[in-house]
Amino acid sequence: GWTRHPAPMTAPSLVVSNLGARANPRVARRASSRARRVAPPRASGGERRQTIEESDASDASSGAEGRASSLPLGLTRRNLIDAAFVAVSIPLWKDIAHDLGYLQGPEDAPADLPVPPPGSGYVTATFSGGCFWCMERPFDELDGVIATTSGYTGGFVDNPTYHEVGAGRTGHRESVQILYDPRAVSYEQLLQTFWRQVDPTRDDGMFLDSGFQYTSAIYVADESQRAAAEESVRALTEEGRFPGPIKTAIEPASAFWPAEKYHQDYYRRNSTRYGFYRFLSGRDEFVRV
């Protein structure tokens, strides 16, 4: 009452070894020799790891030598990356030192407001839309805009600094004042540009920046500007363009304090830091929708 199972397959050398005295010695020797030729000798675990590590080290060394040899003065790609990082970061740390008030120079003086020529008919419009670096360029690109100036307005402190405004101690918002020719561009067109740059549903900041100083506002110079601003809010509310109610303040224009010189035209003069900041802020993702 038992069942016979076939023996499992084994390597020739094991078969020969298991036959013992019953095997033909010459056949056994030939089979054993054949098995050794077919199967290469197996290295121990430690030897295999050592071989792999030596191979990887050799490949890395040859790759590094190839990279170094293709660059002048024996430099490596890592050297170039480190140098590029330093070149980009030096202006960044310099600006941070300015912002915190630790570094003072001519560029920390307030910028001059552009003065319209007598009889030019130029007028001003003032908007707050978060970081003023990001608000200048859209208006600069409009025909009829003469100049844009980053600054601070709406607060109760005279001659505020960037550090003071950023700390939220002045009641000011970061703002941009636009000098424009109303014969070439209308206030309504400026409003359209403004609404395309902001998230007006927030009353606690703007994109990456938090705090009242970064909230949106329209500072109106006269009743015609107020009427146009209020009408634009009504139209946008009916259109349902934004995902919530519009919380942008409409307030009378008050003293406008130009920001420090190094903040003016920042997107042109410090394009690397500006581009990095704008990318992180999420502003572009929002305004494209």
219: exposed, middle or buried (Cβ count in 10 Å: 0-12, 13-18, 19+): buried
User: Is 168:213 a contact under the CB 8 Å cutoff?
Assistant: yes
Separation in Å, CA 264 to CA 78, 148, 269: 35, 8, 8
Give, to the nearest 10 degrees, the angle between helix 12-19 and helix 25-38.
160
Q: Which of 16, 31, 111, 131 is catalytic?
A: 131
Q: Which helix (H) or strand (E) holds 218?
A: strand 216-220
Separation in Å, CA 28 to CA 24, 33, 38: 6, 8, 15
> Does residue 134 carry a catalytic annotation?
no
Per-position DSSP letters for 64-88, written without gaps between them: HHHHHHTSGGG--HHHHHHHHHHHH
User: Is 205:180 a contact under the CB 8 Å cutoff?
Assistant: no
Q: Which helix (H) or strand (E) holds 91?
A: helix 77-99
Q: Is the dihedral of CA 6, 11, 17, 21 positive or negative?
A: positive
Residue that the structure tokens 């903040």 belong to: 263
Cα angle: 261, vertex 265, 271; to 5 degrees: 115
Question: Catalytic site residues?
Answer: 131
